[in-house]
Amino acid sequence: MSHSLDGATRLGSVQKQRRLLLRMAALPLLPLILVTASTWRGGGMWHEGIESFGLLLILVCVLGRAMCTLYIGGRKSAELVTIGPYSVSRNPLYFFSLLGTVGAGLMFGSMVVGGFFGCLYFLAFDRLIRKEERFLDLSFPMQFAAYCAVTPRWLPRWQLWKSVDEIVVRPKLVFNTLRDATLFMLTVPLFEAVEWLQQSGLLPVYLRLP
């Protein structure tokens, strides 16, 4: 029991680090975004197509994160959840957030920015994921080893999907997850505003990326 409580405490600490790291990674990007633009002009086929795909990824992120919370909300440190999204990936919340981060970058109208956002997210959080997994291994040593043997860390293996007829849902946690995930949607008006300011000549453009 003490190992489980210790693991839960450490897991909470890692999750705080995760939120801090996300903020720290975002802040230095803001000035760069203001003076960077897409190679493809707004309104063109490529520009609009990239933005549309980015919006699709953000919507998948929001829905995917909500689905993850339906299955794991409030139970992450109390039990090892291996059903639903957690049956196909050990870290589906991170996977869907990765999609949302790439989608946010694509809202810039640039594949390079989308790829850069995705790489930055992966590099920042892969290490934290490994820390979380060490804590889960301490709390559920036998179960977690068997789980890791068949379930990938990042990319889902959809053929592994398994679920149950009933799950206990905590609405507050689901709503909180939806609230947090919809922050990705803020990139839509943000990048549209930056694009308008650049086209109006109010913001200089020093770098264009495809």
Q: How many domains does the chain have?
A: 1
Residue 8 has pLDDT above 90, yes or no: no
In the predicted model, what is the mean pLDDT of residues 25-44?
75
Q: Provide the pLDDT for residue 5.
A: 45
Which residue range forms the structural domain that includes residue 74?
A: 2-209
pLDDT in tens, 85-139: 999 999 999 999 999 999 999 988 889 989 999 998 898 888 888 888 888 888 8
In the predicted model, what is the mean pLDDT of residues 146-150?
94
Give the Å distances, CA to CA, from 26 to 20, 76, 161: 10, 27, 34
pTM of the model: 0.84
- Within 13 Å and on the Cβ side, how many CA atoms surround 91? 20
Residue 4 has pLDDT above 70, yes or no: no
Q: Provide the pLDDT for residue 1.
A: 44
CB of 122 closer than 8 Å to CB of 94: no
